[in-house]
Amino acid sequence: MLDFSKANEWKIIEINFDPSALGKVEANFCLGNGYLGLRSATEEQYRGETRDLLVAGTFDRFSEEEVTELPNAADVTNIELTLNGARFDLTQGTIQAYSRELNLQNGLLTREVEWTSPKGENFTLKFERMVSLKRLHTIAARVTITPDQDAVLMVQSGIDGRTTCDGSQHFTEGETRFYDKKYLQYTPRTIQSGITFVLDSTHKFTVNGAVMEPKSDINILRRRMFSKFALEVKAGQAVVLEKFSNVFTSRDKELAGYTREQLQAHALEQLKSDEKEGFDALLAEPAACWLDRVWMRAPITIDGPDFDQLAIRFAQYHMQLMTPAHDNRMNIGAKGLSGEGYKGHTFWDTEIFLLPYFIFNMPEVARSLEEYRYLSLPGAHAKAAHNGYEGAQFPWESAWLDDGEVTPEYMGTDIVTGQLIKVWSGFIEIHITADVAYGVWQYYMCTGDQDFMDRYGYELMLDCAQFWASRLEPGEDGKLHINDVVGPDEYKEHVDDNAFTNYLVWWSIGKAIEYSKMLQEEKPELYARLDEKLGLAALREKWAEQVDDIFLT
């Protein structure tokens, strides 16, 4: 049960705990920063939850029979509390008061609970969690517990590497280390793609503002390590636990060339620095970042009759979360970084649905997304060649730059026949190649970024048009057809001459003719370079023959 009242323009609020709707809240209240996405599973575990920590661009393939996907990294958010012998569990005892809210302004997730344990004892708990928009690797949590009576609190918290993608495990068992008896470090590696992950956690307790070191012991089991703390607290005393965590990987651009040991040392140093800052100081940073990068830069105001203002901000929040603006070797996954769906793959959604927002508000992000397409030309060439075509045929689903197509070939089983269902998108939903060209053009039209066009844009558009020239099929009617495709309406497969596809291809070839002429006249050096790559002279002749014969309804 979410509160969408009009008065509330910055916060998504859950007003009742519903154990049957965990997934919905985990995804909607997701935290992240484009580098990492962290589903908002509660600190304590419940049956049916999905704990996901996804790091953009760290694709791994579980087996030859599966496609590459974003691996689900070890969990650092689980904190199990035992309050005077009763496990903190909202399906037990009585919830006296409850709210969970996500503050879109700064990305702070807060849960406040007044709970009567099955033993009849009252506890006030406040859980806060953040992923920093400034420090891309940092995850911080704060738990404040105030018992109504003297209490013994047991806290179990650490790093748990048993997480999988719905049962598929992408990581080695990993190295467990801890330093100074308080810094936990877990270093697994993705099995197929060989990416090293370093995850760290540490804990800091304060009572009435004074730091204290409770009795603790360390447990190391298969794929996980955690500390157990025991504290005695007086009635009405607030115990505050701050948990600082981070994740670094060997794919991080700024750490290129680091050895595993250097990566581990760097992560540990960052952890200590975050711990020193403390939760409040860490939280102040993303608040300023969000304001600067999003809310002041794209201050969309809607004075509607409903929760429109909240909804648009919710969309802006999630677009910020899901977009790896820090690295042009990566793009946006169809489910962002908020869960395992669509495996982190990039679809046409980038160009058609998401790019306009970035073009108009954060053009440098839009450029990075389009650079990803340029960098993934090797995969697009490979796909075209594999299918017997020329030029760049972009994959329907895209992951690594040189992967080419990563759409699963089969998904599920037909209820009636018992046979596997073929996923046709990867084979014949070909409009993506025209969508990419359209995205480039749209970016250029709105930004006038000539540098981008000269380096990447013209080549992308011409390379795409080369594919189309080889894909058009002459029909008995003297027209050129594009048969057997899936258009944007994915309920219809094996369609001939899909209107969206044919029009965009016609437009794409027209632009290619226009730009190749213009380049020859105005930018002879660039033209010469592209002509050598693509054979523009012959191509333009072909395009000119084709363009007016394309079947359009």
Instruction: Tally Cβ neighbours within 10 Å of residue 491.
Output: 6
Question: Residue from 1, 47, 261, 388 that binds a copy of itself (CB under 8 A)?
Answer: 47
Rounded-to-integer distance, Cα 538 and Cα 85, Å: 80
Q: Considering only CA atoms, which of 299, 456, 431, 429 is closest in space to residue 369? A: 456
Instruction: State the minimum distance, in angstroms, from the CB of residue 192 to a copy of itself.
Output: 10
Site mask, a copy of itself, residues 364-403, x = CB under 8 A? ----------------------------------------
Residue 516: what residue type? Answer: S
Rounded-to-integer distance, Cα 443 and Cα 434, Å: 14
Question: Residue from 181, 260, 386, 492 that binds a copy of itself (CB under 8 A)?
Answer: 181
The number of angstroms, rounded, from the C-alpha of 166 to the middle of its chain's C-alpha atoms is 17
Instruction: State the minimum distance, in angstroms, from the CB of residue 512 to a copy of itself.
Output: 41
Phi and psi at 9, nearest 5°, equal -105, 0
Q: Which is closer to a copy of itself, CB of 190 or CB of 346?
A: 190
- Asked if 315 is part of the footprint of a copy of itself (rule: CB under 8 A), the reply reads no
Instruction: State the minimum distance, in angstroms, from the CB of residue 490 to a copy of itself.
Output: 19
Q: Considering only CA atoms, which of 420, 401, 404 is closest in space to residue 412? A: 420
- Asked if 261 is part of the footprint of a copy of itself (rule: CB under 8 A), the reply reads no
Q: Are 282 and 274 in contact (CB under 8 A)?
A: yes
User: Per CB under 8 A, which region of 40-48, 94-102, 264-272, 484-492 contacts a copy of itself?
Assistant: 40-48
Q: Are 473 and 463 in contact (CB under 8 A)?
A: no
Q: Which is closer to a copy of itself, CB of 191 or CB of 446?
A: 191
- Asked if 178 is part of the footprint of a copy of itself (rule: CB under 8 A), the reply reads yes
Calculate the alpha carbon distances from 177 to 200, 224, 228, 252, 426 in Å. 9, 11, 16, 21, 43
In degrees, rounded to 5, the angle at the alpha carbon of residue 431 between the alpha carbons of residues 464 and 374 is 40
Burial of 442 (0-12, 13-18, 19+ CB in 10 A): middle
Q: Which is closer to a copy of itself, CB of 66 or CB of 484?
A: 66
User: Per CB under 8 A, which region of 140-148, 264-272, 411-419, 500-508 contacts a copy of itself?
Assistant: 411-419
User: Per CB under 8 A, which region of 6-14, 50-58, 157-165, 261-269 contacts a copy of itself?
Assistant: 157-165
User: Per CB under 8 A, which region of 106-114, 162-170, 368-376, 396-404 contacts a copy of itself?
Assistant: 162-170
Instruction: State the minimum distance, in angstroms, from the CB of residue 89 to a copy of itself.
Output: 8
Sites for a copy of itself among residues 207-246 (CB under 8 A): 217-218, 220-223, 225
- Asked if 553 is part of the footprint of a copy of itself (rule: CB under 8 A), the reply reads no
Instruction: State the minimum distance, in angstroms, from the CB of residue 379 to a copy of itself.
Output: 23
Q: Which is closer to a copy of itself, CB of 125 or CB of 225?
A: 225
Question: Residue from 5, 16, 96, 413 that binds a copy of itself (CB under 8 A)?
Answer: 413
- Asked if 162 is part of the footprint of a copy of itself (rule: CB under 8 A), the reply reads yes
Rounded-to-integer distance, Cα 142 and Cα 277, Å: 13
- Structure-token pair, residue 442: 């749209």
DSSP state at residue 229: E
Q: Which is closer to a copy of itself, CB of 288 or CB of 420?
A: 420
Instruction: State the minimum distance, in angstroms, from the CB of residue 386 to a copy of itself.
Output: 23
Q: Which is closer to a copy of itself, CB of 175 or CB of 308?
A: 175
Rounded-to-integer distance, Cα 363 and Cα 369, Å: 10
In degrees, rounded to 5, the angle at the alpha carbon of residue 269 between the alpha carbons of residues 267 and 274 is 95
User: Per CB under 8 A, which region of 57-65, 259-267, 477-485, 525-533 contacts a copy of itself?
Assistant: 57-65
- Asked if 45 is part of the footprint of a copy of itself (rule: CB under 8 A), the reply reads yes
Question: Residue from 32, 71, 161, 214 that binds a copy of itself (CB under 8 A)?
Answer: 161
Q: Which residues contact 453 (CB under 8 A, 6 or more apart)?
A: 440, 444
Site mask, a copy of itself, residues 1-30, x = CB under 8 A? -------------------x----------
Question: Residue from 169, 320, 393, 433 that binds a copy of itself (CB under 8 A)?
Answer: 169
- Asked if 197 is part of the footprint of a copy of itself (rule: CB under 8 A), the reply reads no
Sites for a copy of itself among residues 419-438 (CB under 8 A): 420
Calculate the alpha carbon distances from 360 to 34, 76, 449 in Å. 19, 36, 13
Instruction: State the minimum distance, in angstroms, from the CB of residue 23 to a copy of itself.
Output: 13
Question: Residue from 97, 210, 256, 415 that binds a copy of itself (CB under 8 A)?
Answer: 415
The string of DSSP letters for 240-300 reads EEEEEEEEEETT-GGGTT--HHHHHHHHHHHHHHHHHH-HHHHHHHHHHHHIIIIITTS--
Rounded-to-integer distance, Cα 241 and Cα 225, Å: 18
- Asked if 329 is part of the footprint of a copy of itself (rule: CB under 8 A), the reply reads no
Q: Given 173, 269, 364, 490, which residue is catalytic?
A: 490
- Is-catalytic flag, 43? no
Across 285-308, b (16+ Cβ under 10 Å) vs e yields bbbebbeebbbeebeeeeeeeebe
The string of DSSP letters for 407-462 reads --SEEEE-TTT-PEEE--HHHH-TTHHHHHHHHHHHHHHHH--HHHIIIIIHHHHH
Instruction: State the minimum distance, in angstroms, from the CB of residue 26 to a copy of itself.
Output: 16
Rounded-to-integer distance, Cα 365 and Cα 297, Å: 13
DSSP state at residue 110: E
Q: How many residues bind a copy of itself (CB under 8 A)?
A: 40
Q: Which is closer to a copy of itself, CB of 84 or CB of 447?
A: 84
Q: Which is closer to a copy of itself, CB of 87 or CB of 529?
A: 87
The number of angstroms, rounded, from the C-alpha of 411 to the middle of its chain's C-alpha atoms is 22
Q: Contact positions toward a copy of itself, by CB under 8 A?
A: 20, 45-47, 62-63, 65-66, 87, 91-92, 161-164, 166-169, 172-173, 175-179, 181, 191, 217-218, 220-223, 225, 412-413, 415, 418, 420
Which residues participate in catalysis according to the annotation?
490
